[in-house]
Chains A and B, each alone.
Chain A
Amino acid sequence: MITANKSAAGERVPIREGLLTGPLSRLDRVRLAGCSCTTCGETSLGSKNICPNCGGDAVREVSLSNHGVLWSFTVVRHRPPGNYKGPDPFVPFGLGLVELSDGLRVLSPIRCDIDKLKIGLELQFKPYVRKDDDGREVVAFSFEPASQ
């Protein structure tokens, strides 16, 4: 698990602790982190100590697949409220549930022409670096059409 304990200007941190796995300095090796339960078999998003399905603690951290299929989507037509870090001025974007072979669907921005969005679209995981106001590099994520 990646931790953000000693974050300071110039350092790279995940957008949320426990959400990503792999070396943040090598974006091509970064994956979404998952929690796999050996008791009930469920895999869920993010590193955790307790399975959110059965409550058991026989869990292990796994790297989730970096390929998926668009299960459903929408186009966000208004700037989301709060501290949204997307483009300013706002540009409508795709938001979708990406089904992974690990047995879960992950909510993610979908980086592509909004007219290309379609259920069944093959996607690949796309981590990227965003510069924060305090100079830190934050690793965030999206999905984009496969082999683009």
Chain B
Amino acid sequence: MSDVVILGTGMHPFGRFEKSYEELGAEAAAAALRDAGVEWSQIQAAYLSRMYLPATSGARILRRLGSTDISIVDIEAACASGGAALRQGVLAIRSGEVDLALVLGCEKMPRGFMDPSMIYSQWQIELGMSLNPAYWSMRARRHMHDYGTTELQIAKVAHKNHKNSVHNPYSMYQKEFSLDEILNSPLVCDPIRRLEICAPDDGAAAVVVASAKRARQLGANAKAINIAACCHTIARYSADFRCPADSMSATAANPGPTEVTAKQAYDRAGLGPRDIDCFEVQDTDAFCEIEICESLGLCVPGEGGRLIDEGRTEIGGATPVNMSGGLISKGEPVGASHLGQLVEIVSQLRGQAGPRQVADAKVGLAHVLGAGGNCAVTILQR
């Protein structure tokens, strides 16, 4: 057993709701506490992952569960905020100062493209560089050029993820689209289409984490899920072309943020990609999943398109990816996305994922990657 475990998870569906962020967050937090079988008053530290919420949102949300004097901290690391927040919870427990903590992700976002001034400089906005999908699209275009990856393969990833989401009550769309529908959906930024990208939305997800010792004292050994690794890094110099970059080196050869973070996580867990039974990865767009599968070591660089052609990333395949339907179907409430992935992985490892269940899943990996090359990888093990 590792030193830090997940005792319980809770989630508010991702989508668009007529509720305040405080309501969304409090529902997810309360659900996680119920699932863990602990009271809010027992929690010794809490972390809120969020990007678009106002200051002290964590305290405002958790006040709804009752008054407290514990440390509640808001954490932001773009799309990897959830991993950065969980890491703080893990480190706090590992330090010995606390042994029971809550990590919550929550977001409430406006429709449409994200507010560019959060990320981009004014001159980039003026020149038209402030559309996030443009960056994903240029990566896709280059991959197609270098490796022969096709628009059909990209569409197949979107098809798989939308299809998986039909069985996920936490997903925004829960709707299967045919390959034709996907390939005929409007281009957003060539070659990426409307049904191949994720939308910003609302949602919340939470986990209760504890030291292994505290879990034993609570008699919660049986359902505890080990956190084998939780790593967060930002991309090295020019290792990642992602918003808001205005240029990239043509000569530096640093490994990408997913490679670096995954290696850290694999090393810490003492596992490799072949030991992982199921994956939830950042599919901000369908191409992104292809590239990340390569970076996580599911195949060699350039072979990502074959994974989908051969059905290897399907729920019944050798390396299932985005059983939940991914962000393409759930939407991306940025601060909540990684915690939402962990809710899915925990449910897989507990054998409670219903029609989405990966047979006999024992180890799962969750990955997020976003602005500034922020990347987080968490490996869970039962």
Contacts and interface: CB of A to CB of B under 8 A. Distances in A.
Interface string B93-123: 0000000000000000000111111001111
B233 to A, nearest CB: 17
Contacts of A59: none
A145 B361 CA distance: 53
B128 A95 contact: yes
Interface stretch (B78-86, B241-249, B319-327): B241-249
A99 B139 CA distance: 14
Contact of B112 (A15, A81, A103, A119): A81
B126 A81 contact: no
Given A44-B249, A74-B134, 20 more contacts: A15-B123, A42-B237, A42-B251, A75-B187, A76-B134, A78-B113, A80-B129, A81-B115, A84-B126, A84-B130, A85-B127, A104-B247, A105-B247, A106-B246, A107-B129, A107-B246, A107-B247, A109-B129, A119-B142, A141-B127
B188 interface: yes
A104 B241 CA distance: 12
Give the interface residue-count category, chain A: 35 or more
Contacts of B190: 74-75, 77
Interface of B: 112-117, 120-123, 125-131, 133-134, 137-139, 141-142, 145, 186-192, 237-238, 241, 245-252
Contact of A103 (B187, B241, B249): B249
27 contacts: A15-B123, A19-B123, A42-B237, A46-B246, A53-B238, A71-B250, A72-B138, A73-B138, A74-B137, A74-B191, A74-B192, A75-B189, A78-B113, A78-B188, A80-B129, A80-B130, A81-B115, A81-B130, A82-B116, A82-B117, A84-B128, A84-B130, A93-B128, A95-B134, A104-B249, A109-B128, A140-B126
A82 B248 contact: no
A147 interface: no
A141 B192 CA distance: 26
B141 A72 contact: yes
Nearest to B254: A53
Contact of B114 (A72, A81, A86, A142): A81
Interface in A62-77: 71-77
Contacts of A82: 115-117, 120, 125, 130
Contacts of B245: 107
A33 B117 CA distance: 24
Nearest to B186: A77
Contact of A42 (B187, B191, B249): B249
A136 to B, nearest CB: 13
Nearest to B142: A72
A106 B187 contact: no
Contacts of B114: 81
Interface string A93-120: 1011101100111111100000000010
A29 interface: no
A76 B131 contact: yes
B123 A16 contact: yes
A83 interface: yes
A95 B120 CA distance: 16
A60 to B, nearest CB: 17
A52 interface: yes
A43 B123 CA distance: 21
A108 B124 CA distance: 9
Nearest to A53: B237
Nearest to B121: A16
Contacts of A41: 251
Interface string A109-135: 100000000010000000000000000
A100 B186 CA distance: 32
B250 A104 contact: yes
A103 B117 CA distance: 29
A93 B190 CA distance: 11
A80 B248 contact: no
A109 B124 CA distance: 10
A108 B126 CA distance: 12
A109 B123 CA distance: 12
A45 interface: yes
